[in-house]
Amino acid sequence: MKHGAEDVSFRTVAAMKFGLYASAIAVAAVCSVAHAETDLLAAAHDALMHDPVYAAAVAQNQADATRRKQGRSGFLPQVLATGNMRYGTLDQETTGAHFAGGGFGSSNGIAFDTRAAGATGAGWAVTIKENLYSAAKNADARQMNNAADAGDASLRLARQTLLLQVAQAYFAVLAAEDDVAALKSTREAALEASRIAQGRFEAGEAAITDVNDARARADLARAQKLAAETALDLRRAELRDLTGNADTALRRPGNAAAVESIPAGDLADWQSRAMTGNPLIELRRLGVDSAKAETSRYRPGAGTTVDAFASYIGDRMNGAGYGGNSSMRSNSAVVGIMVTIPLYTGGLRSAKAEESAALLNRAGLDEDAARVAVAREVRQAFLGLQSSKVQVTALTQALRSAELQLDANRTGFEAGDRPSIDVLNAGQALFATRRDLAAARYQVALNRLRLSAAAGELDEEQLARINALLR
């Protein structure tokens, strides 16, 4: 009777334990939600404020924005003022001069000289210059505008990259937490199975192999749990590095049906949107246009420049001359047009023309490569989204089957027809299926975000739609 009562107690306790084991992931999720302090959107906002890589991209964008002003400056008037003060001796000698004066007649072959010893002087000049035509300045302006546009595209790319990194780190933490919870429950169930098997062995109702199997399972689960806890610490550190916040509980997907119903859309439509919206393609397109601008500098006749100018120049000098003080004054005011034509540059322009043509070809190939890479990225994200949705459907069915399997093994165990290890295996399979189902749902959300990023459309609004599915 003692053995019978002990056997009934063993089966009842074991069945309760395995029932708790099978629902452990749900309990872990509920506990996490009960203390949730951070959701996906909040983590993204924190990362945008904290991440130094993104902050550097913002600073670079501010610098790039000034390029438009720099490009325009080449077509605006340039005003230059200069001045000087000096001390020294001036000797000037003129021969063969013509002299004419009222009442003095005129003379040729005149020679005269001037001298200002120990002289002090001052000079000044104000010059205004405005370009009327310059292929080089036109190219500069075009390239500067492209650089400013590239700065905007680079910032969009950096922002999308950070938002996607946060989402990946966020769901990686959730998946790691699920893994730790699964292994924790596996070990607890294995320890309980080992205790029960030991009791039955001592009572002469079970073989020692049942005890050894349960202990081996518990030891393995302990080792796996330690590794999973380390992985969880690393995942949390990655998220913490992005957001700058201490570890907090994360909100989990609460509406499974809503996650599973995230639409994939049409692949051709995503490809079309990516070709026009992806920031990497935009950067390569701007690179092609800048390369075209560079080639325009070296077309035949493009080296000619035309400038309008006006200047006022004044100079004063006072010193000791012949028999007294010497003073010299000069003023000039001129306006004009200056044309500059490079007749020969030692082969520089022709070499530059060849170089710019080769670089234009390279820029075009870079754009083609970017389009191929983006198309592949869109295809991978699209197929990944479809695949993860199919996995969710399959794992949902597998979960129902695993629940039935656990119920059957539990019933057989209570009737004495099944060993405890069979119930433990069935419970572990159920728990792993639940974990895998949760991971598949995470992938549905992540692949949808990856698809938006590939199309150049990932922003806080897209993130908020996924965030609304968390509780």
| pLDDT of the chain, 471 residues: tens digit per residue | 344 444 444 444 444 444 444 444 444 444 443 444 789 999 999 999 999 999 999 999 999 999 999 999 988 999 999 999 988 887 778 887 777 766 666 777 777 777 777 888 899 999 999 999 999 999 999 999 999 999 999 999 999 999 999 999 999 999 999 989 888 887 887 777 777 767 767 777 667 777 777 778 788 888 988 998 999 999 999 999 999 988 888 988 877 777 878 888 899 999 999 999 999 999 999 999 999 999 999 998 899 999 999 999 999 988 877 777 878 889 999 999 999 999 998 999 999 999 999 999 999 999 999 999 999 999 999 999 999 999 998 998 998 998 898 888 878 766 767 777 787 788 888 888 989 999 999 999 999 999 999 999 999 999 999 988 887
pTM for the model stands at: 0.80
319: helix, strand or coil: strand
- For residue 124, the surrounding DSSP H or E stretch is strand 105-134
Q: Percent helix, strand, coil in the chain (nearest 5)?
A: 65, 20, 15
Residue 325: per-residue pLDDT: 81
Rounded Cα distance, 302 and 315, in Å: 38
Q: Which residues pair with 308 in a beta bridge?
A: 130, 337
Would you say 143 and 287 are in contact if contact means Cβ atoms under 8 Å apart?
A: no
Phi, psi of 305 (to 5 degrees): -125, 145
DSSP-derived secondary structure letter, 342: -
Rounded Cα distance, 172 and 26, in Å: 18
283: helix, strand or coil: helix
Measured CA angle at 406 (ends 400, 410), to 5 deg: 150
38: helix, strand or coil: strand
- For residue 427, the surrounding DSSP H or E stretch is helix 420-454
Rounded Cα distance, 217 and 225, in Å: 12
Own/partner contacts of 372-375, CB < 8 Å, gap of 24 or more, are 373/280, 374/274, 374/275, 374/278, 374/280, 374/281, 374/454, 375/271, 375/274, 375/275
